[in-house]
Amino acid sequence: MSKEKCILAYSGGLDTSALVPYMKEKYGYEIIAVLVDVGRMKDVEGLRQRALTAGAADSLILDAKEEFLVDFAFPALKANALYEGRYPLHSALSRPLIAKKMVEVAHRYGAKVAAHGCTAKGNDQVRIDVSVRCLDPSITVLGPAREWNMTRPELLDYLSARGIDLPITKKNPYSIDENLWGRAIECGELEDPWTAAPAEAFQFTVDPKAAPDEAAELVIGFEAGIPVSLDGERLDPITLVESVDMLGGAHGFGRLDMVENRLVGIKSREVYEEAGSLSLIMAHREVEDLTLTRELQHFKTMIDQRLSELIYDGLWFSPLARALRAFIDESQKYVSGEVRLRYFKGACSPVGRRSPHSLYDSKLATYGSGDTFSHESAKGFIQLWGLPVEVWARHHKDQM
């Protein structure tokens, strides 16, 4: 009788590698390892082989880089999505996509079980689990790394006791999760929120002190809320995001250091490198400033924040998140234009913006000649605007 198949979200790291023999021995599954490439992965073929070395029956690499940007990161960008006002959600955005790929592979292989290597303390277990169940409630999701209680050295011993020797020896004290939208660094000495992150924690951003003495400018072009060009040149999403990230990082922009409220109830100290995503969000906001009406813009910030929370909380595929994305899409029809960003010594600032749909009317805004604003209307407008509070004040003189 053929064994039951289990789709394992594989990263190539120690935990998911140890999961291969663990799931085989403990549950008797045949393991199909799936590595979803959402960017910044080195030697994917080597990682694919690693899963086979660990004992997987099959091992797949799915290149999801463009899909990640187009279907997950860019919709979040349209919402200027930041968790707790700072973190651009790169990890949170990748998990629903990883879940989607797991479900697709499960259907292809006729598997009814899916597994991940997330720990019990993180948000990622929630995001993968809930997303898989949203997409196919008949699939059971397992997270065995929550139960085995093995430390890193013990995991290495566990593997070598089975004759599985993997090239995972480097003494990296950090837990890293990176993709095209950003990089998270956790654990090690970073667990003390008072300790400044050491230089070696960073990989994609230079120390602002070491950044060039000359500022750099970049023009980012948007169409309907989506970035499409740099310095006037149309680029594919991957090249565009990578280029912005590299330029920002080279000028020391994009480092975040924060204490964040996790969904599972704990506060955690997080260090991030987010030069590309933060630059794009900053630029996108500038185009919105020019092209959205005040009412829409103010209302949208509430929707943006709620969607950011839903993304963080693993509810990307929920009906509410879908409905909010539909609202945001509608709001983005005219969010087209260009923004000039200037990078200098760790800072990024917008220094110019323009749009074919700009609502900025210099004839209305000017304090110089050619003014068309109706000055006499201002008086009557204020008269009526202040009327309700004036009436209230007449009635309640004693309150003032």
Catalytic residues: 15, 95, 124, 175
245 vs 270, beta carbon nearer ligand ARG = 270
Binding footprint of ligand ARG, residue count (CB under 6 A): 11
Does residue 271 bind ligand ARG (CB under 6 A)?
no
- Which is nearer to ligand ARG, 55 or 314 (by Cβ)? 314
Residue 300 beta carbon to ligand ARG: minimum distance, rounded to whole angstroms: 23
Q: Is 124 in the site for ligand ARG (CB under 6 A)?
A: yes
Residue range at the interface with ligand ARG (CB under 6 A); choices 116-124, 236-244, 284-292, 320-328: 116-124
Is 62:97 a contact under the CB 8 Å cutoff?
A: no
State how far the Cα of 36 lies from the Cα of 61, in Å rounded to an integer: 6
CB atoms within 10 A of CB 200: 11
Q: Within 136-175, which residues bind ligand ARG (CB under 6 A)?
A: 175
Contact 7, 114 (CB under 8 A): yes
With binding defined as CB under 6 A, does residue 122 bind ligand ARG? yes
Q: Confirm or reject binding of residue 92 to ligand ARG (CB under 6 A).
A: yes
Whole-number minimum distance, CB 6 to ligand ARG, in Å? 20
Told to check if 11 binds ligand ARG by CB under 6 A, we report no
Q: Which of 15, 129, 177, 313 binds ligand ARG (CB under 6 A)?
A: 177
Residue 177 — φ and ψ, nearest 5°?
-135, 115
184 binds ligand ARG (CB under 6 A): yes
Among the candidate windows 120-128, 141-149, 194-202, 322-330, which touches ligand ARG by CB under 6 A? 120-128
Q: In the complex, what is the shortest distance from the CB of residue 143 to ligand ARG, in angstroms, rounded to a whole number?
A: 12
Give which of 39, 28, 90, 91 is closest to 61, Cα–Cα. Answer: 39
Closest approach, Cβ 224 to ligand ARG, in A, equals 27
> At how many degrees (to 10) do helices 275-291 and 237-250 cross?
110
Residue 196, SS3 per DSSP: coil
Q: What is the amino acid identity at position 389?
A: V
CB of 217 to ligand ARG, least distance (A): 31
Indicate which single residue of 63, 186, 309, 329 sits in contact with ligand ARG (rule: CB under 6 A). 186
CA atoms of 125 and 389, how far apart (whole Å): 52
Closest C-alpha among 83, 277, 253, 255 to residue 180: 277
Whether 249 and 274 have beta carbons less than 8 Å apart is answered as: no
DSSP code of residue 197: P
CA-to-CA dists, residue 123 to 62, 119, 311, 324, angstroms: 23, 9, 11, 22
Cα 293 to Cα 289: distance, rounded to the nearest angstrom: 8
In the complex with ligand ARG, which residue's Cβ is closer, 129 or 338? 129
The DSSP element (H or E) to which 222 belongs, if any, is strand 216-223
The rounded distance, in Å, linking the Cα atoms of 344 and 252 is 8
Q: What one-character-per-residue DSSP string does 1-33 give?
A: -PPPEEEEE--SSHHHHHHHHHHHHHH-PEEEE
Cβ proximity to ligand ARG: between 177 and 304 the closer is 177
Task: Name which of 91 and 279 has its Cβ closer to ligand ARG.
Answer: 91
**3-class SS at 178?**
strand
Instruction: Tell me if 257 contacts ligand ARG by CB under 6 A.
Output: no
Nearer Cβ to ligand ARG (155/240): 155
With CB under 6 A as the contact rule, the residue among 17, 59, 91, 205 that binds ligand ARG is 91
Contact window for ligand ARG (CB under 6 A) among 119-127, 215-223, 354-362, 382-390: 119-127
Q: Establish if 274 lies at the interface with ligand ARG (CB under 6 A).
A: no
SS3 assignment, position 332: coil
Stretch that binds ligand ARG, among 28-36, 122-130, 149-157, 347-355 (CB under 6 A): 122-130
Q: Which is nearer to ligand ARG, 98 or 244 (CB)?
A: 98
Q: Give whichever of 22 and 83 is closer to ligand ARG, judged by the CB atom.
A: 83
Instruction: Write down the least CB distance from residue 117 to ligand ARG, Å.
Output: 9
What CA–CA distances, in Å, run from 12 to 17, 154, 227, 385? 6, 17, 31, 63
**Residues 236, 52 contacting (CB under 8 angstroms):** no
Shortest Cβ 197–ligand ARG spacing (Å)? 14
Q: Which amino acid is at 256?
A: L
**Binder to ligand ARG among 129, 270, 274, 304 (CB under 6 A)?**
270
Residues lying near ligand ARG in the complex (CB under 6 A): 91-92, 122-124, 175, 177, 184, 186, 260, 270
